[in-house]
Amino acid sequence: MNRLISTIALLFLIPGVAAAQQQQQPPATPMYPAPPPQQAPTVQQGAPTSGLASPLAATGQAKIDRTDIQSDVEAQLFIDARKIVWGRYAKIKGAKSGDVAVTKQGGLWTIKGRLDSVAPGTEGDWTSIDGVVERISAGVVQIRGEVAFRVAKVEKGTPCKVAGTLTFRRSGKSQVWRLAEGDNPCDGTREAFDLVYEKPVEKKPVPTQPKRG
């Protein structure tokens, strides 16, 4: 008799336990079809994270050791690029050009220059270039570096830069190489950043004056 009572009580108890377990478990959703585990999985201790190198270093651009000269004529012109003209202010009365220097360091050419604006109302604004000459071909000069534009009314005077491989193009008999990527990244203005060839002044030898007796 006692066994029969115990069996009947167990039959009533099992559904109650199952119902309680179902109430404790979170409802299944498409993003979480299973209830969370009772214990988080264990993980092995990894290597220390200090002193790690950037994973992008291996995929970055290779260092330039030598300028690729594909046109000697273009190279002879470009070595005499002496001036910077900034189109944003070039038409303002009183505007002046800046200075730039192309330098040979062994087989590698470098370029560096700056223009500080002096046109009325633009004082304090400037533009600059700094980089290495990657390739020179007919009508095209590619420079790896950066060109910066500082304009007081743009980004509260913070310099805006275009960087990477920059392309300067020249056409026909022009003595000007214009930056193809010359749009200001901060306000979209076409800056018209130009490098200008300036023929070096030939110094003629002074004839020796005959001695007077």
8-41 pLDDT, tens digit each? 555 555 555 455 555 555 555 555 556 666 776 6
* Strands 108-116, 176-179: pairing kind: unpaired
β-strands 68-69, 126-137 pairing: parallel
Nearest to 133 by CA among 194, 70, 200: 70
Please check the confidence at residue 199 and state whether its pLDDT lies above 70. yes
Is residue 153 assigned to a domain?
A: yes
pLDDT tens digits, 82-94: 999 999 999 999 9
Is the per-residue pLDDT at 119 higher than 80?
Answer: yes
> What six digits make up the tokens of 68?
């690729």
Tell me how many domains the chain contains.
1
User: pTM higher than 0.85, yes or no?
Assistant: no
- Phi and psi at 75, nearest 5°, equal -65, -40
CB 104 within 8 A of CB 79: yes
The mean pLDDT value of the chain amounts to 82
Could you give the CA distance from residue 102 to residue 76 in angstroms, rounded to a whole number?
A: 11
Look at residue 58 in the predicted model and tell me its pLDDT: 47
- SS3 label, residue 121: coil
Residue-number span of the structural domain to which 75 is assigned: 68-197
Collapsing DSSP states into helix, strand and coil, what is residue 139?
A: coil
Residue 50 lies in a domain: no
Per-residue model confidence (pLDDT) at position 132: 97
Domain membership flag for residue 41: no
Lowest mean pLDDT among 15-29, 82-96, 118-132, 181-195: 15-29
Tell me, what's the pLDDT at 23? 52
Q: Quick one: pLDDT band at residue 64, thresholds 50, 70, 90?
A: confident
Q: What is the mean pLDDT of the segment spanning 104-132?
A: 96
Asked, for residue 116, whether it belongs to a domain, the answer is yes
Across the range 133-146, mean pLDDT stands at 97
Query: Would you state the pLDDT for residue 1?
Result: 57
Closest CA to 125 of 112, 114, 116: 116
- pLDDT for the residue numbered 11: 52
Q: Are 160 and 154 in contact (CB under 8 A)?
A: yes
- Candidate ranges 9-18, 56-65, 173-182; pick with highest mean pLDDT: 173-182
- Candidates 150, 113, 159; CA nearest to 133 is 113
pLDDT at 63: 85
Does 9 map to a domain?
Answer: no
202 within domain boundaries:
no
Asked whether residue 48 is domain-assigned, the answer is: no
* Sequence-ordered strand ranges (E) for the chain: 68-69, 81-86, 98-105, 108-116, 126-137, 140-150, 160-169, 176-179, 193-197
Say if 148 falls within a structural domain: yes
